[in-house]
Chains A and B, each alone.
Chain A
Amino acid sequence: MPKKSINIPIGSQHISLLEPVRFKFTTENEKIVGIDWDVGFVHRGIEKACTQKFEYKQVGYVVARVCGLCAITHSLAYTYAIEQLLGLELNKKIQYLRVLMLELDRIHSHMLCLSHTVENAGFEAMFMKIMNDREAIMQLQEAISGNRIQFDYISVGGVNRDIDKAIEKQILKEVQILDHKIDDLIEAFETNWSLSLKFKGIGVLSKEDAYIYNAMGPLARATGARIDTRLESNVMPHKEVGYETILFEGGDIYARNMVRLYEIKNSIQMVQNIIQGLPEGEIQLKVKGKPKGEALIRLEAPRGEIFYYVRADGGNMLRRVRIKTPTYSQVPTFIKIFKGANYADAPAILASFDPCMSCTAK
């Protein structure tokens, strides 16, 4: 008898999907043998708007609306590209404040991903617990920038708000508490038996495949591949503030969760270092002239490498803004992992990728 395959569609509207994305899984006896994606539901045409509707000083706030989760990385990458074209030399204080916001954003994004992973594996109570712990970071972001999600904190030549002693004290206190909570979470993820059934050995990616299929971010670092833009680029002073590369072996969902947890701990360490050694200085430099030429910027977003290409010809409007986001680059890796996995594990595997469709479709 010939084998029969069954097609299972998910989306574009589904309870476990936050975003409109449509999957078509082809399954044979619980095993996924084929997968088809449609990610274009969120396409809004941002790249065209950046060159035709908005001036170069406004575009930083527009590209932040590409994605609500890594808004700060998008506006940072664009702003660094423009500053490269203008030849601006930033002082230490601006650089450190930018790293501070980037790392706070990474903490809350990783925690959201962890909570989603455990929810899609069936652990509602742990989802609520992680979401509750995450609120501390959201409050810090609100205290620093004035908004919880879309900060609009970065401007060309500096940042829009300074932090004072009271906020510094609040940050140090809250991240100290969060550090202990993350320790508890690490213990739960390591020792909980039913969590290990859902996570250990599921959705495995080998180190060779990580290089072949161009994995990046926590997905690559969970296989032991040393891929991190923060290592290679000198755009931001990550090495000065205590950055360490977190690597794990295995490449399964468990390893991805552990990479995220230890990266949160590393980010907390960086935030503490920045607050304790914050130099004096201006927070906004004078911007003269108009951008002219080409610039390429790579930064490490919570999900992997983000890439910006900006071309300008000396006017108020830009000629071209090209955005390449981590989820877009990793779709081949996702398909590789899905093939051969059990269909019942698909939601947890998908959540562990931390995909961002609004980034992908722009």
Chain B
Amino acid sequence: MNLDTYKKKSPWILHYNCGSCNGCDIEILAALAPKYDLERFGILNNGNPKQADIFLVTGALTYRSRARLIELYKQIPEPKVVVALGSCTCTGGVFRDMYNVENGIDSFIPVDVYIPGCAASPELIIDGIIKAIDILEAKTNEKEKVKKDFT
């Protein structure tokens, strides 16, 4: 048994707020709390990038956060999935073109799932995470295929 088998069943989340108004962040908490209960998919909110599989980013990317965002992205091991949560994260939202805002995280790191909404509701968050799990599985299979071809 290797680690990738378990990864599909229990992906861990790394949450980073790169300039959000807290609206999406408290909806993540609500999604992890008993009513919506994202944890039933084996998902755990973890603070360590080295153990994370899904990178959950909220907020309009500010000038000072971008170096930290890229640093965190680099520290997550492959395969990884990036989820942009909320309108601000996808495009900059209401803060688009302000002097300190970088108009969405996809100009700096590749994004796999976009979740719209201001603030994104817990149902949308769950929907996005389920999509992210599928993408994670596809990426894991691809990696294993490459491994088989070369061994």
Hey, which bits of chain A sit against chain B, CB under 8 A?
12-16, 18-20, 40-46, 48-49, 53, 61-62, 65-69, 71, 112, 128, 131-132, 134-135, 138, 147-150, 356, 358
Question: Cα distance A356–B22 when bound, in Å?
Answer: 8
Chain B residues within an 8 Å CB radius of A128: 33-34
B62, CB-defined interface residue at 8 Å: yes
Are the CB atoms of B30 and A45 closer together than 8 Å? no
Would you give the shortest CB distance from B148 to chain A, in whole angstroms? Answer: 36
The answer to whether A131 and B23 have CB atoms under 8 Å apart is no
Are A45's CB and B98's CB within 8 A? yes
Most buried by B among A13, A44, A62, A132: A44
Q: From known contacts A65-B21, A148-B27, infer whether A13 and B94 are also in contact, taking CB-CB under 8 Å.
A: no
Task: Identify the stretch in B2-10, B12-20, B131-139 within 8 Å (CB) of chain A at 4 or more residues.
Answer: B12-20
Bound complex: CA A150 to CA B119 (Å): 6
Q: What is the bound-complex CA distance between A61 and B93, given in angstroms?
A: 12
* Residues on B facing A (Cβ under 8 Å): 16-27, 29-30, 33-35, 45-48, 59-60, 62, 64-65, 68, 72, 93-95, 97-101, 118-119, 121
Known contacts: A43-B100, A44-B98, A128-B33. The answer to whether A148 contacts B119 by CB under 8 A is yes
Residues of B within 8 A of A135 (CB): 30, 33, 35
Q: How far is the CB of B114 from chain A (nearest CB, A)?
A: 18
Shortest CB-to-CB span from B16 to chain A, Å, is 5
Given A19-B17, A20-B17, A128-B34, residue A43 in contact with residue B64 (CB < 8 A): yes
Given the contacts A18-B22, A20-B65, A358-B21, A138 and B45 also touching, CB distance less than 8 Å: no
**Separation in Å of the A76 CB from the closest CB of chain B?**
16
Complex: chain B residue closest to A12, CB-CB: B68
Known: A20-B65, A69-B22. 10 other contacts (CB 8 A): A12-B68, A18-B22, A41-B64, A42-B65, A44-B60, A46-B98, A49-B98, A65-B118, A131-B33, A148-B30
List of B residues within 8 angstroms of A19 by Cβ? 17, 20, 22, 25
| Shortest distance from the beta carbon of A48 to any chain B beta carbon, whole Å | 7
Question: Residue A68 contacts which of B24, B60, B98, B121 (CB distance < 8 angstroms)?
Answer: B24
The number of residue pairs between A and B whose CB atoms lie closer than 8 Å in the complex comes to 123
- Residues of B within 8 Å of A16, CB to CB, are 47
- Enumerate chain B residues within 8 angstroms of A14, measured Cβ to Cβ: 47
Q: Determine whether the beta carbon of A42 is less than 8 Å from that of B26.
A: no
Task: List the B residue with the shortest CB-CB distance to A40.
Answer: B64
**3 A-B pairs with least C-beta separation:** A15-B47, A68-B23, A131-B33
Q: Which residues of A contact B46 (CB under 8 A)?
A: 15
Q: List 6 A-B contacts (CB under 8 A).
A: A16-B47, A65-B95, A68-B23, A68-B25, A131-B29, A132-B33
Asked if A132 and B21 sit within 8 Å, CB to CB, the answer is no
Contact of A49 with B95 in the complex, beta carbons under 8 Å: yes
Q: With A148-B121, A149-B27 given, is the CB distance from A44 to B95 under 8 Å?
A: yes
Q: How far is it, in angstroms, between the C-alpha of A149 and the C-alpha of B47 when the chains are bound?
A: 25
Report the Cα distance A112→B25, complex, angstroms.
12
Out of B19, B21, B24, B25, which one reaches A41, CB within 8 Å? Answer: B19
A20 and B18 contact, Cβ closer than 8 Å, known pairs A68-B26, A135-B35, A149-B27: yes
Bound form: Cα–Cα A77–B78 in Å: 47
Query: Are A67 and B33 closer than 8 Å at their CB atoms?
Result: no
> CA A12 – CA B16 in complex, angstroms?
9
Q: How far is the CA of A45 from the CA of B26 in the complex (A)?
A: 22
Residue of B nearest to A147 (CB): B119
Between B20, B21, B72, B119, the greatest number of chain A beta carbons within 10 A of the residue's beta carbon is seen for B21
Residues of A within 8 A of B60 (CB): 44
Is B47 within 8 A of A13, CB to CB? yes
Instruction: Select which of B19, B30, B119 is within 8 A of A44 by beta carbon.
Output: B19
B21 partner residues in chain A, CB cutoff 8 A: 65-68, 71, 150, 358
Contacts of A65 in B (CB 8 A): 21, 23, 93-95, 118
- Report the Cα distance A137→B65, complex, angstroms: 33
- Given A44-B60, A131-B33, do A53 and B22 touch, yes or no (CB 8 Å)? no
Query: Which of B24, B48, B62, B68 contacts A42, CB < 8 Å?
Result: B62
